[in-house]
Structure 1
C-alpha cells in the first residue's frame, strides 16, 4: 500500500534558491535575522545579508571559481556562515560544509571527494584545514580565514573579506534564474551522509530540492503572530541546520541567536535572556533537558514549541520533557537524502507519543517486508520514500546511487517503520549499518581505520544501546593477530582509534576481542549477528551496572 501525504499538493517554484528566498531583492526587512548570541551589535538583516551574499558571489566570479566548483566551509556556527552558503550557491557553485571536529584526515577525505576549489576556514581550525589541504593538493592561496570579525593574515592566509567585491558594484549583481529543468539539475550543496552502508558519501542537493523542502515546511507552519526567536545551535555544515537556521529562518522572518560552541548552561542562559520561542532539538539535547540539574535554575517559560529530529527519541524522555514545557514534542523523520525532512508533526497535532508524524506535502511512502512485499498498516517494513525533496544521487558515486535511489523515484531509506490507518509513522528499527550517536557514524569508515592498526587482523563496528535515549555507543569487535596476543589491550586500541577521528566517532562502547568477526561465505560482515551480539552485551553490562 502506497501511503500518500494527507496534505494538499502544493506548488513548488522551479527557480534559483535565492529568487525563492529573497524575491527581487527589493524592500527587504532590516530587522535582525542572524544575531551573535553574546553580542547583539553583531547581526545581519535580510537586507544586509543579501548585500554580503552578492559581494561574495561577485568576488568568487572574479576569482574564476566557476559554476559547479565546490567551496568548502570549515567553521563553527556564526552569523556569516549563511552568507557563505548562499553566496556560494547563488551563482551555481556548490557548498560543502565540514564538521569542525574533524581531524585533518577526515577533512582531506571530503576535500578530495568533492575536488574542493576554495576553502573558508575559521582561524581556530586553520591548522587542521591546512594539513588537510596539503594532502589534497590544495594551495594556500585557495584558503581564506573565515570568522565574524576581520582578522589579520596568518602565514599568508588572508581574511575572506579580501575576496569580496565592493558593495556598490555588488549591488548590481544578478544571479542566474534557473527556471524549469535548471532548478532540478543545478547542485546547490553536497552534504555528507553515512547513507545506508559503506563510507560517508556526498549527497547532492539541488536548488529545487531546497525549495521543495522549505515549501513543505512552510505549508505546515502554525498560523502564528509575533516574532519567532530561535537558538542557532544546530550545526550549519549539516542538512538539519541548513534547512532550519538558513532557509526556514529567512522565510519565517525568525530571529536566530547563533551559538558558536555548544555549552548547555550557556544554551539555557540564551533561552532565558533572549526569550526563545522555539527549540530545535536532537535526542542528546532532549536528554539534557530531561536530566540535567541546571534546567530548573532557568526561566524557560518563553518556549512555546519543541521540535526534534536527527534520530528517534524514546517515549519516556519525550513524555518527561513535554510535561516540563507544557507542550508536546513535534518529532520528525528525515535524512540527508531527502534534503532534510520527510515526515513531521503538523500544526495542532494530537499527542502521538513516539510518532515522527505524517508525510510532508507532495510526498508518499511504502513499507516493504524482507521479500519486497508491501505490508499493511500496523506492520513493520522498510521505509521507501518518494517526493520532490529526494536527492538526485550521491556525488561521483553511481553504484551507491543505483543501490539507494531506485526506479520510479523511490528512495530506499534503510529505516524500518510502522504506519497507522491515519498516516502517522513510527520509526522502530533500521536496516542500514550506521550507528546513531548524536550524528550518524558509518561503521565501514571506522573498520577501515581499525584495519590499519598493526595488531589487528579483522574488525567490525556496531551500535551498542547506551540507555533509553535512543542513542548508541560505538563498539568494535576486534580479532587480534596471533603475535599481538597478550601484547595489546582493548583500551590501547580505543585510545589509538580515538586519536584519529572526530569525537562523535570515538569508540565510546569500547573494544571487545573476539576469535573471529562474523562473516558470510562471500566475506561480508554479518551485521545482523553483530547487532545480536551488541544487544546481548548491552543487556549483560546493564545488569552488571545495576548490581
Structure 2
C-alpha cells in the first residue's frame, strides 16, 4: 500500500484504495439507513451499546432500531421539520447514538454540543445553530436551561436523556415521553430510496476553523456515510472479533464514526465511559476483554507509563488508534512494546471539516511517527510557501485534501467557506506534512489554531474574552510547546496583555474611579485576575497558564496581530 502521484501536471497524491468504484452507497444512502443496513447479518439481539461502568445497562441492535424509529416519529409529531436543528448536549452514554440517529432520521440537523462548555460558549453555539429542541442529561440541565431561556428556547423544548422515565424537572420532560406518543413505527427506510443526498445536511459540527471564533461546519450525509464506509473496510479485514471502548467525546469528529455508526453497521460491541478515567478505563479493558480503543496523546502517554501491574489490564488490546495532536514516536513505541505481541499502536490524522484523512491499519506495526496512508478515495496536495505543488517525497508543504467526506461550508460565513478551498475544490487543512516511503508524516500547523490536549483552541476566542475587561486594552494569545514527564509534547496557553495606563483608569466600570494612583496600582488587574477571567468564561483547555504584561502588541496596518513578531514585545516596566 502506498501513496501515488495521480497526475504529473497537478501532482496529486492519491490513495490506492477506492470505495466509490464498487459502491454508490456513499452518494445515495442516508446515515440511518446505512447504519441499520446489516441487521440481518449478525445477532441483532445481542448487546451492542453497553455501559462500561454498569453492563446491566445495554441496548441491542433490535432495540436500537425500534427506539430510533419511535423517536423519529415522536420528533415529527412535535413539529420537527426537514432542516430544523436539534441540539444534543450530553456526555457519552448508551442512549446518545440513538438520539443522534433519530434527530438525523427525522430530517433534522443534529448539533452535538460539548457538555463542558461554559454559559458563554453555550449561548454562542445556540445562537449560531438556532435549535428548535435540545436533548440533555439531568446533570447537565442547569447549565443549558438558563442559556436556552436567553435564546428563547422554552423548557418544554428540552428533553432529558436518562435510563428511567423520571417525572419532569423544571418543565423539562423525559425523552421517553416522546416514545410513549409513538407506539407504532414504520420499519421501512426512513428516507426515500435513492433520493439524492449530495447536499442534504445531517450535522452541525463545531470547529475552530482557520481564524476567529469557533465556527459551525455543515456536515452532509455523504460525509458521514463515506467516512464510515472507509472505516468499515478496515474492520472487516480483522483476524479477530473487534470490540471497542469509547472514552473520548462522541461529539468529536475522531470518535463519532466509531461510536455512532459502525457498531450498528457491523454488530460490534461498544462500551461507553462518560469520559476518560484511568481506573475505569483499565477495569473496562480487562473485564470485557476489549480489543480496540481510540485515544489522544495525553491518554496514550499515561498508558505507556503504567506500572508493571497495571499494564496487565491492557493485554486484550489489539488496536490502539491515536489522534488529536502530535504523538512522540518514542512514547508510541514504548506502549506498543508493553502490550500483547499482536497489538498495534497506530496514528490517524483528520479534521472536522473533512473527516479522517489518513490511518495506519490494524495489521501494520509502525512506530516511526507516521500518521499513515491516505484513506479510501482521499486525494492530497502538498503546497509549498510559494503556492507551488510539491512533486517529491521528503518536501514539507501545507496539506490540502479532496474527498467524499468534505463539509458543505460554515454556517453564516461565506467568506471563511470560500477561503477554505482552492480552485480545484481541495480543502486547506492548515497542517504541514511530507511523504516518506509512501506514508504521510505530520510537521506542524500553519493555522493560528493551537492544539491543547487534543482540543483545538482559537487564540482569537480567548483574546475576545480578555478584551472584555475594562483594564485590558490589547492582548495576544500564543502557545508554548513543552514536554511533560511522560515525554508527551503539549501546548501551554499563554497571553501577552497590555493594561490600560494608570492615569487613564478612571471609569466607574474599572472599579478604580476617583482613587489615588497608589491605590489604583494596588487594585490594578493582575496576572491571576486575567487567568480567572478566562476561567470564568471558557472551558478548561482554553485556560491560560501564563500571563505577561507588555507595552504593545505588534499589529499590521489593518489591525491583524503579527504573531511571528510576538517574541519582540517589550515588557511593561
TM-score bracket, shorter-length normalisation: over 0.9
Residue 476 (structure 2) aligned to one of 439, 452, 460: 460
Following superposition, the deviation at residue 430 of structure 1 comes to: 0.4
User: What per-residue deviation string (whole Å, max 9, x for no partner) do you get for residues 273-309 of structure 1?
Assistant: 1111111111111111123558736522111111111
- Name the counterpart of 1:151: 166
Following superposition, the deviation at residue 128 of structure 1 comes to: 0.6
- Name the counterpart of 1:302: 316
Kindly indicate whether residue 245 of structure 2 is the aligned counterpart of residue 231 of structure 1: yes
198 and 298 in structure 1: CA distance in 2 versus 1, 3 angstrom threshold: same
Kindly indicate whether residue 534 of structure 2 is the aligned counterpart of residue 497 of structure 1: yes
TM-score under structure 2 normalisation? 0.88
Following superposition, the deviation at residue 42 of structure 1 comes to: 1.1
TM-score under structure 1 normalisation? 0.92
397 and 155 in structure 1: CA distance in 2 versus 1, 3 angstrom threshold: same
- Name the counterpart of 1:482: 501
- Name the counterpart of 2:221: 207
Kindly indicate whether residue 20 of structure 2 is the aligned counterpart of residue 5 of structure 1: no
> Which is further off, 467-476 or 59-68?
467-476
Kindly indicate whether residue 466 of structure 2 is the aligned counterpart of residue 450 of structure 1: yes
The 2-side partners of 1:215 and 1:425 are apart by: 22
> Which is further off, 455-464 or 343-352?
343-352
Following superposition, the deviation at residue 65 of structure 1 comes to: 0.9
User: What per-residue deviation string (whole Å, max 9, x for no partner) do you get for residues 423-467 of structure 1?
Assistant: x11111101111211211111111111100111111111222131
533 and 274 in structure 1: CA distance in 2 versus 1, 3 angstrom threshold: farther
Structure 1: runs of 5+ lacking an equivalent:
538-547
367 and 386 in structure 1: CA distance in 2 versus 1, 3 angstrom threshold: same
CA contact (8 A) 1:32 1:43 kept: yes
Kindly indicate whether residue 118 of structure 2 is the aligned counterpart of residue 103 of structure 1: yes
- Name the counterpart of 1:517: 553
User: What per-residue deviation string (whole Å, max 9, x for no partner) do you get for residues 149-202 of structure 1?
Assistant: 32221121111111225564124565113635x312111111101112111111
Give the match's secondary structure for 2:171: coil
Residue 400 (structure 1) aligned to one of 409, 416, 426: 416
The 1-side partners of 2:276 and 2:367 are apart by: 30
92 and 9 in structure 1: CA distance in 2 versus 1, 3 angstrom threshold: same
CA contact (8 A) 1:16 1:179 kept: no
Number of residue equivalences: 530
- Name the counterpart of 1:53: 68
263 and 533 in structure 1: CA distance in 2 versus 1, 3 angstrom threshold: farther
List structure 1 runs of 4+ shifted beyond 4 angstroms: 24-28, 165-168, 171-174, 292-295
Superposition pairs for residues 22-421 of structure 1, below 5 Å? 22-23=36-37, 29-166=44-181, 168-172=183-187, 174-177=189-192, 179=194, 182-221=196-235, 223-293=237-307, 296=310, 298-325=312-339, 326=341, 327-338=343-354, 340-375=355-390, 376-421=392-437
CA contact (8 A) 1:51 1:171 kept: no
Give the match's secondary structure for 1:125: helix
> Which is further off, 401-410 or 521-530?
521-530
The 1-side partners of 2:180 and 2:221 are apart by: 24
The 2-side partners of 1:258 and 1:149 are apart by: 18
**Coordinate RMSD, CA, aligned:** 2.1
Following superposition, the deviation at residue 219 of structure 1 comes to: 2.0
The 2-side partners of 1:3 and 1:140 are apart by: 51
- Name the counterpart of 1:469: 488
Following superposition, the deviation at residue 136 of structure 1 comes to: 1.3
The 1-side partners of 2:364 and 2:147 are apart by: 47
Following superposition, the deviation at residue 395 of structure 1 comes to: 1.9
Whose radius of gyration is greater, 1 or 2?
Answer: 2
> Which is further off, 490-499 or 221-230?
221-230
Give the match's secondary structure for 1:524: coil
Following superposition, the deviation at residue 405 of structure 1 comes to: 2.7
529 and 147 in structure 1: CA distance in 2 versus 1, 3 angstrom threshold: farther
CA contact (8 A) 1:193 1:200 kept: yes
CA contact (8 A) 1:229 1:254 kept: yes
450 and 300 in structure 1: CA distance in 2 versus 1, 3 angstrom threshold: same
307 and 480 in structure 1: CA distance in 2 versus 1, 3 angstrom threshold: same
User: What per-residue deviation string (whole Å, max 9, x for no partner) do you get for residues 200-233 of structure 1?
Assistant: 1111111111111111112233622543221121
- Name the counterpart of 1:542: none
Structure 2: runs of 5+ lacking an equivalent:
1-10, 506-520
The 2-side partners of 1:394 and 1:122 are apart by: 28
Residue 564 (structure 2) aligned to one of 528, 537, 544: 528
